[in-house]
Amino acid sequence: MATRLSEDFMTSTHSAKYHELSLLLREAELLSSCGSVLSWDEQTYMPKGGAEHRAAQCSLIAGLAHERRTDPRIGELLGELQSSAGDLADNEEFVANIREVRRSYDRYTKLPKRLVEEISRVTTLSQQAWVDARAKSRFDLFRPWLEQVLALKREEAAAVSNGQGDPYDALLDDYEPATTAAELEQIFQPLASQLSELVAAISVSEQVISAEILERAFARSAQKTVVEQAAKKIGFDFHRGRIDESAHPFCSSFGPGDCRLTTRYQEEAFNSAFFGVLHEAGHGMYEQGLPADKFGLPSGQAASLGVHESQSRLWENLVGRSMAFWKGFFPTAQVNFPEVLADVTCEQFYAAINQVQPSFIRVEADEVTYNLHIMIRFELERELLSGNLPVMDLPEAWNDRYDTYLHIRPASDREGCLQDIHWSAGLLGYFPTYALGNLYAAELMAAASAHFGSLDQLIEQQDFAALLDWLRTHIHQYGRRYAPRKLIEQAIGHPVSSQPLLDHLWTKFGTLYQIPRPV
Give the active site residues.
280
- Name which of 312 and 371 has its Cβ closer to Zn ion: 312
Cα torsion for 76, 82, 84, 90, to the nearest 10°? 140
- Name which of 97 and 312 has its Cβ closer to Zn ion: 312
Q: How many residues contact Zn ion, by CB under 5 A?
A: 1
> Residue 370 and residue 362: Cα distance in Å, rounded?
6
Residue 311 near Zn ion by CB under 5 A: no
Q: Which of residues 63-82 bind Zn ion (CB under 5 A)?
A: none
Tell me how far, at minimum, the Cβ of 40 lies from Zn ion, in Å: 16
Rounded to 5°, the CA angle 315-319-320 comes to 80
Sign of CA dihedral 429, 470, 476, 43: positive
> Residue 109 and residue 337: Cα distance in Å, rounded?
55
Q: Which stretch binds Zn ion (CB under 5 A): 67-75, 225-233, 312-320, 451-459?
A: 312-320
- Could you tell me how many residues make up the chain? 519
Q: Which stretch binds Zn ion (CB under 5 A): 125-133, 218-226, 287-295, 305-313?
A: 305-313
Q: Which stretch binds Zn ion (CB under 5 A): 110-118, 171-179, 306-314, 399-407?
A: 306-314
Residue 312 near Zn ion by CB under 5 A: yes
Q: What are residue 263's DSSP bridge partners?
A: 245
Q: Is 429 left (phi over 0), alpha (psi -120 to 50) or beta?
A: left
Q: What are residue 242's DSSP bridge partners?
A: 260
- Judge contact between 73 and 24, C-beta under 8 A: yes
User: How far from chain centre, in Å, is Cα 331?
Assistant: 31
Q: Which stretch binds Zn ion (CB under 5 A): 59-67, 110-118, 253-261, 307-315?
A: 307-315
- Name which of 312 and 355 has its Cβ closer to Zn ion: 312
Q: Which stretch binds Zn ion (CB under 5 A): 34-42, 216-224, 311-319, 322-330?
A: 311-319
Give per-residue burial for 191-225: e unless 16+ CB within 10 Å, then b: bbebbbebbebbeebeeebebebbbeebeeebbbe
Tell me how far, at minimum, the Cβ of 279 lies from Zn ion, in Å: 6
Tell me how far, at minimum, the Cβ of 313 lies from Zn ion, in Å: 7
Closest by Cα among 198, 216, 200 to 348: 216
- Name which of 286 and 398 has its Cβ closer to Zn ion: 286
Q: Using CB atoms, what's the residue nearest to Zn ion?
A: 312
- Judge contact between 89 and 95, C-beta under 8 A: yes
Tell me how far, at minimum, the Cβ of 307 lies from Zn ion, in Å: 11
- Judge contact between 468 and 338, C-beta under 8 A: no
Tell me how far, at minimum, the Cβ of 285 lies from Zn ion, in Å: 12
> Residue 55 and residue 445: Cα distance in Å, rounded?
41
Q: Which stretch binds Zn ion (CB under 5 A): 97-105, 142-150, 308-316, 486-494?
A: 308-316
- Name which of 286 and 349 has its Cβ closer to Zn ion: 286
Q: Taking the CB of residue 238, how many other CB atoms lie within 10 A of it?
A: 11
Tell me how far, at minimum, the Cβ of 18 lies from Zn ion, in Å: 33
Tell me how far, at minimum, the Cβ of 309 lies from Zn ion, in Å: 5
The single-letter code of the amino acid at 166 is D
Tell me how far, at minimum, the Cβ of 311 lies from Zn ion, in Å: 9
CA distances from 131 to 21, 284, 357, 492 (A): 42, 29, 27, 42
Q: What are phi and psi of 255, to 5 degrees?
A: 135, -175
- Name which of 100 and 280 has its Cβ closer to Zn ion: 280
- Judge contact between 85 and 14, C-beta under 8 A: yes
- Name which of 194 and 312 has its Cβ closer to Zn ion: 312
Binding mask 257-296 for Zn ion (x = CB under 5 A): ----------------------------------------
Residue 252 near Zn ion by CB under 5 A: no
- Name which of 310 and 399 has its Cβ closer to Zn ion: 310
Question: What residues line the site for Zn ion (CB under 5 A)?
Answer: 312
